[in-house]
Amino acid sequence: MAFHPARTHAYPRSMSILDAPLARLDGTSGTLRDLTGGRPALLVNVASKCGLTPQYTALEALHEEYADQGFVVVGLPCNQFGGQEPGTAEEIAEFCSTTYGVSFPMSEKVEVNGPGRHAVYEGLVDTEDEGGESGDIRWNFEKFVIDADGTPIARFSPQVTPDDERVVAAVRSTLS
């Protein structure tokens, strides 16, 4: 199946989403750029107690496969869907490391919808997926591929797994 780039919008501010303040899961201050290292990335709102949580395995495999080519997966924990990410930062880190061997960077817990929506998601939600859907994040594990400049390249629904050929094609399209 061919990769079709998402239709996107320009980030509504004069800065890239990469410049949005975003602390690491351990509380270290920084920006999304600090988490991505200025590399293309797959951004995923994650949750530890969701039926889709086993996607962590494929997220880690994707990260491991493409890290040497300049790509990174970034997890953004969110507790807005059914309270499925209730833990503290330490509990989330322990769960991800112990259960799924997660080595990719994780951010602090963020809100992806509503009045508290994080600036990163303000810059992503107008991106359409393959079905033309945009707007609010629908559930845990919604995925966005961004290029090294922070421009959204593709959006995938929570049910599209990280090892789906469409996600892999979008990832490959960002590599030089």
141: Cβ–Cβ under 8 A, 6 or more apart, which residues? 44, 45, 46, 47, 50, 52, 55, 158
Say if CB 98 and CB 60 are below 8 A apart: no
Per annotation, catalytic residue among 23, 33, 34, 50: 50
Say if CB 40 and CB 171 are below 8 A apart: yes
Q: Measuring CA to CA, which residue among 81, 85, 73, 100 is closest to residue 162?
A: 73
| 50 classed as catalytic | yes
Say if CB 44 and CB 142 are below 8 A apart: yes
In a 13 Å sphere around the CA of 150, the CA atoms on its Cβ side amount to: 25
Q: Measuring CA to CA, which residue among 167, 164, 159, 120 is closest to residue 142?
A: 159
Q: Which residue is it, tokens 């880190």?
A: 93
Catalytic residue IDs:
50
